[in-house]
Every structure is written in structure tokens, then in C-alpha cells.
Amino acid sequence: MNPLVERSIGTITVLEPQGRLVLGENPSDSVLRDRIAALLQEGRRQFAIDLVRVSHIDTSGLTTLVGAYIGVQKQNGRIVLLNAAARVRELLAVTRLNTLFEVVENEDQLRESFAATPPSRP
């Protein structure tokens, strides 16, 4: 199974990690980080991380998401979490990362969010 599926919704690059985002079990974290870095180099600035196929996330997975957020922000981009399961939303709330990430429930909300907030210019 490919640890990361990539697709586009208009100008938004949607990255969909597969399986568990946990320490030592899955290459999704490094693949996600490396792919975002490559896409930033290509000039992409609008990202969504679709968590629909993430079955479990631990602090290592959260660290990966925060690292992605920081990398995108440094390049004047934007990153949104999509389709986060209830347990992932709870983890984001407990760690207060829900104040950092915007979380949307579906692709319509994702489009609306990016339409309402155009990308920053460097």
C-alpha cells in the first residue's frame, strides 16, 4: 500500500496518509514531510491533509503534522486538516493543537475555507 495518496482539488493539494501515524510503524510521516517540502519547492502553497484513512495517530504523528504546518507557514502557505475522525479531533483538543489547525469535515468546507482566505504573498 502506498503510504501517501496525492490528489488536487483546484489549486489545493490534498495529501492522504494511509494507516497509522505512529512512531516507528509506518513511513507515512517521513513521506508526508518530504512530499510537502517538494511541493513547496514547486511553488504549491495550499494544502489539505486528508485523515480519512488514518486509523491511529500518536505524538509522533502530531509532530509530523506540526512540522508540516510550520514548513508551509514559513513559505506563506496554508494547511488544513480534512476528515479527522472523532478520536483525532479529541487528541487535537487535548493537546490544544485545534487552536493551530483548521479542521474541516468535507471537501465542500475545504473549498469554502480556501476561497474565503486567499493565499498569502511572500
Domains of the chain as residue ranges with CATH = 4-116 (3.30.750.24)
Q: For residue 36, give the C-alpha cell.
A: 510537502
Instruction: Give the Cα separation of 87 and 30 in Å (integer).
Output: 23
Entry pTM: 0.89
- Contact of 49 with 79, CB cutoff 8 Å: yes
Residue 116 pLDDT more than 80? yes
Choose among 74, 42, 55, 66: nearest CA to 16: 55
121: pLDDT strictly greater than 80: no
Q: What is the pLDDT of residues 49-87, one digit of tens each?
A: 999 998 888 888 898 899 999 999 999 999 999 999 998
- Mean pLDDT taken over the chain: 88
Please report which confidence band the pLDDT of residue 19 belongs to, taking 50, 70 and 90 as the band edges. confident
- pLDDT recorded at residue 69: 95
